[in-house]
Amino acid sequence: MSGIVVLGSANMDLVVRQPRPAHPGETMSGSSFATGPGGKGLNQAVAAARAGAEVAFIGCVGPDDFGARLTRVLDEAGIDASAVRVVAEPIDRATTGIAAISVTDDGENSIVVVPGANGDDELTETDAAAIGRAQFLLVQLERPLPLVRRALETARESGVRTVLTPAPATTEAAALIPLADIVVPNEGEAAMLSGLADPDADASARALSGRASKGDGTGLAVVTLGERGAVVARGGEIVHRVGARRVDAVDTTGAGDTFVGALIAWLAGGAELEEALEAAAAAAAIAVTREGAAASMPSRDEIEAALGGDASVADAAPRPVERRSAAIPAPVYLDTDLGIDDALALGYLLAHPGVEVVGVGSVHGNLDAPQAARNVLDLLALTTGRGIPVAVGASDPLAGPFAGGAPHVHGDNGIGGVVLDRSPDEPVSEDAADLLIRLAHEHAGRLRVVAIGPLTNLAVALERDPAIAGLLDGVWVMGGAALVPGNITPTAEANIFHDPEAAQVVLEADWPVVLVPLDVTMQNRFTSGDRAALTAAPGAAARAIGEMLALYEEFYTPIFGAPDVALHDPLAAALAAGGVRSALAPRVRVVVDTTHGPGRGQTICDFRGMYRGHPVPSGPTVEVVLELTEPFAPELRARLLELR
């Protein structure tokens, strides 16, 4: 049984950001364009699922790429999408619905919807059965009204609680209110549907609650008031008010849907009304501080943190959190200059059940970008990873030519001189930056980026599509030296040194970044015993990685005084996958030295707050991992031995 069944629309949002609303006949230059999942039904389903509810979605899409992407969004959110139907005819419904959204610089939006497949009005027997097994049915008005009516009637016949978001509001929609136990309109919708002349919000709430649930006195109306919160009435009387939280709104798209989804998720979990309303208000406040609709919706952990902390939700931007394996693996994009420790990282991600590698981009660094891509493809061919798109990325840093690589560390071919059978697969036609942008939109709100080479591709992707900063679950970067010496100069770590300008762009961007510097990677090492275990492993990929480590041992033996190797790149991968946890990781401002003096490439981390418990400063910050809760080598060895 699903706690919540959502019958509603699924649209692809086409979002343009512009300085202000355009006047009639005016042509205006916008500042950005992005696509992302939307539709009030899909948005509310994602919001409820992120808030911890078990959710099933009933909807329709077209036989096109937008439809496939929206279905993946539902799957990735953990939503049962088995009732999503692909509509192939008639022609006016044979396309996925779209919403053209204009967002102004002050965060306000206007929306034009073309319904497409959402116009299908069939309620199948399977749909009715799913509704009858739910605790709550949640509907909106972006599907045909006769369909919505049949769904509400089916739910009431089965004793399922019904929730109506009457948007877009029409006079015909007023007839549906008695079929809803809970009505959640905004202020304008409530006024239109109240039947009163020029009512205020309280009067509208009283009127709607009196008619809800067939006027039996239990009907609930929650009228949302934007930045003024919400007013709640039951059976014709005002019973509660909830205040909005003070935040700097970036994009209000989807805020109302976030409120509704979180409200019903809390109620489905057994919360009292007042508690559920506070959770809904906190969720909406977090959502408006982020770009996008579904991509902006917070997790239950984030909502609970906001409820237990600062009422302003000033620190409610996305943060990397402890993650363990999940039933639905988190999608990962790996950006790599595939050398020996990069191979360890790729192997770890392929073996970890909590993540799924959905794309790999190559970059200059340990070797040239085309050879790095070839190494990835050949290594994937030894595992179950064939079919993962691999893109060739930047061949040079942002401000200079490729430095020639590190053959003394990684060998002439980047993988210790080990010769792998050549895979028949080839890199995809798009470059790494475009692959990252596409995956960020396809996996909006869930994609984790693991960057274990110079950060050129990420900087280029940000320049091409700044909106991706709000679409990622997080960025894990192996790079930098916070409180220890560098490894390529006395102050700089190699990944940062090979493109300091790109590193500065990435570390100053407004997205959640975890920096995994030499401070922690040099303390976590493989021994010759670990290498011997890999070379004797049953899996061909693990054996190949073990062979690669021979040259790595030669490089590190003079450094450590023993045949140990530092686990740089795989540690960043493991932190992204949740395989290990940080014990000390303050969030601080990080500046990269981009001068051409002796400090070039140094990561300057502002730890001056250490004496006050590392309070989080304002503006873009970076989580700098300095210590782990446990040694990493046993976890890495176990995962690599599972590689097949």
Q: Is 224 known to sit in a ligand binding site?
A: yes
Residues whose CB falls within 8 Å of the CB of residue 500, separated by 6 or more in sequence, listed in order = 492, 592, 593, 594, 600, 601
Q: Are 573 and 348 in contact (CB under 8 A)?
A: yes
Chain CA centroid to CA 215, Å: 42
Q: Is 226 known to sit in a ligand binding site?
A: yes
Q: Could you tell me where the DSSP H helices lie in 84-242?
A: 125-132, 145-157, 187-194, 201-211
Of the residues 80, 127, 257, 593, only one is catalytic, namely 257
Q: Is 290 known to sit in a ligand binding site?
A: yes
Half-sphere exposure (Cβ direction) of 550: Cα atoms closer than 13 Å: 10
Q: Is 225 known to sit in a ligand binding site?
A: yes
Residue 393: which of 372, 414, 375 has the closest Cα? 372
Q: Is 366 known to sit in a ligand binding site?
A: no
Q: Is 39 known to sit in a ligand binding site?
A: yes
Q: Are 233 and 200 in contact (CB under 8 A)?
A: no
Q: Are 315 and 282 in contact (CB under 8 A)?
A: no
**Residue 618, both tokens:** 């304002």
Q: Are strands 237-242 and 230-234 parallel, antiparallel or unpaired?
A: antiparallel
CA distance 476 to 578: 12
Q: What is the dihedral of CA 487, 493, 494, 499, to 10 degrees?
A: -150
CA distance 64 to 88: 10
CA distance 5 to 124: 14
519 is catalytic: no
Half-sphere exposure (Cβ direction) of 635: Cα atoms closer than 13 Å: 21
Q: Is 618 known to sit in a ligand binding site?
A: no
CA distance 414 to 409: 8
Q: Is 243 known to sit in a ligand binding site?
A: no
Q: Is 80 known to sit in a ligand binding site?
A: no
- DSSP letter string, 416-472: TT--PPPPS----SS-HHHHHHHHHHHTTTT-EEEE-S-SHHHHHHHHH-GGGGGT-
CA distance 74 to 328: 11
Residues whose CB falls within 8 Å of the CB of residue 595, separated by 6 or more in sequence, listed in order = none
Q: Is 227 known to sit in a ligand binding site?
A: yes
Q: Is 480 known to sit in a ligand binding site?
A: no
Q: Is 413 known to sit in a ligand binding site?
A: no
CA distance 3 to 213: 20
Chain CA centroid to CA 328, Å: 13
Q: Is 495 known to sit in a ligand binding site?
A: no
Q: Is 217 known to sit in a ligand binding site?
A: no
Q: Is 42 known to sit in a ligand binding site?
A: yes
Q: Is 118 known to sit in a ligand binding site?
A: no
CA distance 405 to 501: 18
Q: Is 17 known to sit in a ligand binding site?
A: no
Chain CA centroid to CA 276, Å: 24
Q: Is 375 known to sit in a ligand binding site?
A: no
Q: Is 228 known to sit in a ligand binding site?
A: yes
Q: What is the DSSP letter of 227?
A: G
Q: Is 214 known to sit in a ligand binding site?
A: no
CA distance 119 to 70: 16
Q: Which active-site residues does the annotation give?
A: 257
Binding residues: 11-13, 39-43, 142, 186, 224-229, 251, 253, 256-257, 287, 290, 292, 296
Binding residues for substrate: 11-13, 39-43, 142, 257
Binding residues for K(+): 251, 253, 287, 290, 292, 296
Binding residues for ATP: 186, 224-229, 256-257
